Amino acid sequence: ELKRVILTELVKQGILKDGEEPPPVRIATPPKKVNINKFINAIQHDFDKYRVLR
């Protein structure tokens, strides 16, 4: 029920098209445990999604 309501709202706001679903959530490993080179290579193409406004 809640998922349907959220998807309906996202469609109303033009974020998703009817029948679409948002991409799955990606959870990153805590920085102290991550192989930084592997991490950078993994997020390179999606880097804009990880920026934080100041």
pTM metric for this prediction: 0.47
Q: Where are the domains of the chain?
A: 25-54
Buried b (16+ CB within 10 A) or exposed e, 24-51: eeeeeeeeeeeeeeeeeeeeeeeeeeee
User: Mean pLDDT by 10-residue block, N- to C-terminus, for the chain (54 residues)?
Assistant: 95 95 82 81 80 66
**Spatial contact of 3 and 9, defined as CB atoms under 8 Å apart:** no
